[in-house]
Structure 1
């Protein structure tokens, strides 16, 4: 007789249903797991054996065969422990087999029978809901999985509690979804003294999700500005929360408290590898570009990143999706992020200071920034120089707008875009508009078109640069609450490209 339970295997952000079959047969006692298991799945035999022993359950003196179907799908991870244990318990009659038919299970077993939280509970709950089954998972993953309201989530703390629930002796209540509120005291934009133009650029970037490049001497406040960008971004809506949390769940970044509304802020070090940035490695896990989905990817010391890593950013920036290719599969991860890059003007960092610049100035600056290719630089909507802060400004008390004031304008501009793109597929913000849609929403007035035409010829704007100016101008008009893109909006949008080119 074969007993069956169900679990999932992950392919990108999707969870594929896996049938766990357990059969007892005559022969020498053995415990075999087949169906393309990796090392962690193979080791589940010993964890299951020890956990059952801790409950006083001895394995039968028979040959135990566990098959993970479909057999040609690679199985990775420790979350197969619980479904293997339940299938075995069903085979020896300690758990009703009919109860296992309507469950999707995942969880890691400790040697004393406790259930340990695992990555991927949220995608697993989505798969359970799609197959019209309930989900049983460790207590530490319950708040995360229960956020999918279409599936009932049972979250026992131990294997013994799971057995008692399935056998009907001690039924458990469904888990409740967890929601973490954002930090009530984030870093405030008012902390930054001076740099009013950079603050304005941050506001525009946040309102339309425009990529931003900041170039300035060390200590000018580039990192400080970037760290305060999350404080002016609106909270994620439920759809964005689900998309982002699916990726973070696969990476094990969601704690027991539940899901957060705060947008992710990722800041990888410039020594990060290709797999760390784009995705890959064992199990083709998501990289930093996907972990920053619907949030901010801050890359400090931008030219110091390996050239190959920088060039791989070009396609994700354009498409909002990254494909991690393997010989037997292609993993797709979404990656619609706001890229903020910071760079020194040269290797020593003091190109504009005649007293502190190195002997190779100004050629050192050209060589250093040449590490950023033209096609990649062209993908930044906003490019500005961040000048050093004067000592007189540092002595002044904190002044200027607080993050909450700026965030209110950003939220209002985002609301306008939500209504504008309500019926446009795959478009949420101005930075994603293109083609006929962009021309419809961002075509400037007569004076604006004349200015844009003159400057495009003078500075040699590429077609991509021309469209990015239109997108930025549309966002500036949204911040001003105006329906039409006018000449001042075009002029300000152009200033964030011409300044960088002139420098």
Structure 2
């Protein structure tokens, strides 16, 4: 007897339809075969299905059983094929009604006792099932996550026997409720940072425009402290961004009990992370830290300590907002629109520069340390700011009058100005973060809204003629000046806004002449 059920195969965060077809054939030698370009985990499904059947008191028929995963040329990976294979087999055996599986897609991993274990990717699977006009059968632990996909039917049984009883009418499984939606989780307050007023200003500008930021300073100067406080300055995720981000986290298996959060992601991988860990990859092309930071912040502490290969792999997603993991038989795409915040010491010794405790190998030590990071990578950083050592007098000062709440209010006002400009231009400010922040402005929008006045343009021209700006640097300086103008409440970009933007973008000096973060003064141009 033949039976089939729908499931999905994942290509990045996209879920493609797969039909699981089971056929029982007469044979002298019983066997159970899975075909359809299945990986090791899928091929092992037959043993988990066999064990799960034994756990609920069933035995496989003494026949030749073939499970075909169609289309056959689409790679199939993961343990979530266990449940659809088992359901199609149950229908072919007559254990559940033959038409019971029509209108349903299924994902889930089986235990040897018949329980259905949680799997990653339930949310994109539910979205795909809803688009196909189907409901979703998933593990009980994934039910609240699948319920976020819309009003489509969802069944979330705890075990295989519970699902069989539901289809036979002995029990009724009800649609689970969506998981909790957290918002406003506590983040460290900016008021806790003593001194570093210039760095705080740069942090606020970065938050207002979504710009990439680099802190350069000795150990203990507060670089990591300020980076950890950036999420508190950012607005919550929009509904569209929440769905995009949650789908990436779902594929990675990081959503617990279906709980989603409107807080923007903040990922801080260790500097020993490989290229695959940062950008995604591995045997199953899992999302990396850059994709997990989608619509949020990726913080790279001790920037020069990362491998050159790992750092340069981020250059493309910083421009395009997505990561493509190439394989011989497929190209997997993951979204990766993140805001890069990095921190580094002036040199390998940590101190660098002149003054007390200065590095005795300067400037060679500083130059060699800086050269661990490629010039094109530096060029993609909008703001570079020094964080000088925090003195005893700084620590003795009372807490600053302004903290995260006050800075976040100014950031929200600047973001509102950017959204209003988009509405005036006939664009949708809810279309995605890449269209609602100045750091992504390009083309006509950049020319229309970020062109400075004549004094500002003249200053920018002198900076470019002095060799301090590449073409990318020119564009990023305009974007940065537009953000500074927004924080200033100005409709136009003025000379003072361009001047401040240039201070945060040091010129590309000859090797060894300028340390990163030590910007030349504007009058030099």
Please classify the TM superposition score into its range, dividing by the shorter chain length. over 0.9
Does the 8 Å CA contact 1:348/1:357 hold for their aligned counterparts?
no
Q: Partner residue of 1:109? A: 110
- What SS does structure 1 have at the residue aligned with 2:278? helix
2:317 maps to 1:333: no
> 140-149 or 55-64: which moved more?
55-64
Does the 8 Å CA contact 2:146/2:258 hold for their aligned counterparts?
no
Aligned with residue 478 of structure 2, among 470, 473, 477: 470
Aligned with residue 448 of structure 2, among 429, 437, 440: 440
| Distance in 1 (alpha carbons) for counterparts of 2:520 and 2:305 | 23
Structure 1 position 476, deviation (Å): 1.4
| Distance in 2 (alpha carbons) for counterparts of 1:412 and 1:97 | 59
- What SS does structure 2 have at the residue aligned with 1:36? coil
> 20-29 or 333-342: which moved more?
20-29
Structure 1 position 173, deviation (Å): 1.6
Q: Partner residue of 2:400? A: 399
Q: Partner residue of 2:170? A: 169
| Deviation readout 1:127-179 (Å, 9 max, x if unpaired) | 10111100010111111111110522221121122222223332222122223
- What SS does structure 1 have at the residue aligned with 2:399? coil
| Deviation readout 1:65-99 (Å, 9 max, x if unpaired) | 11111112111111111111100110111112222
Structure 1 position 501, deviation (Å): 4.2
| Deviation readout 1:375-431 (Å, 9 max, x if unpaired) | 111111111111111111112232232212211221222222223234447622111
| Deviation readout 1:87-115 (Å, 9 max, x if unpaired) | 01101111122221211100111111211
User: Against the structure 1 CA distance between its residues 184 and 275, is the aligned structure 2 distance closer, same or farther, given a 3 Å change threshold?
Assistant: closer
Q: Partner residue of 1:201? A: 202
Q: Partner residue of 1:3? A: 3
Structure 1 position 53, deviation (Å): 1.7
| Distance in 2 (alpha carbons) for counterparts of 1:365 and 1:275 | 29
Does the 8 Å CA contact 1:4/1:97 hold for their aligned counterparts?
no
What 5-or-longer segments of structure 2 have no aligned partner?
Answer: 507-516
- What SS does structure 2 have at the residue aligned with 1:213? strand
- What SS does structure 2 have at the residue aligned with 1:186? coil
Aligned with residue 456 of structure 1, among 451, 460, 464: 464
Q: Partner residue of 2:289? A: 288
| Distance in 2 (alpha carbons) for counterparts of 1:169 and 1:415 | 55
> 35-44 or 413-422: which moved more?
413-422
Q: Partner residue of 1:427? A: 435
2:194 maps to 1:186: no
After TM superposition, list the pairs within 5 Å mapping 1:83-482 onto structure 2.
Answer: 83-182=84-183, 184-422=185-423, 423-424=426-427, 427-458=435-466, 460-482=468-490
| Distance in 1 (alpha carbons) for counterparts of 2:200 and 2:152 | 44
Does the 8 Å CA contact 1:22/1:65 hold for their aligned counterparts?
yes
Structure 1 position 459, deviation (Å): 5.3
- What SS does structure 2 have at the residue aligned with 1:67? strand
Does the 8 Å CA contact 1:349/1:357 hold for their aligned counterparts?
no
Does the 8 Å CA contact 1:214/1:386 hold for their aligned counterparts?
yes
| Distance in 1 (alpha carbons) for counterparts of 2:191 and 2:258 | 30
User: Against the structure 1 CA distance between its residues 95 and 418, is the aligned structure 2 distance closer, same or farther, given a 3 Å change threshold?
Assistant: farther
What 5-or-longer segments of structure 1 have no aligned partner?
Answer: none
Structure 1 position 371, deviation (Å): 1.4
> 347-356 or 153-162: which moved more?
347-356
The number of residue pairs the alignment matches comes to 503
For normalisation by structure 1, the TM-score amounts to 0.96
Does the 8 Å CA contact 2:143/2:258 hold for their aligned counterparts?
no
| Distance in 1 (alpha carbons) for counterparts of 2:35 and 2:346 | 57
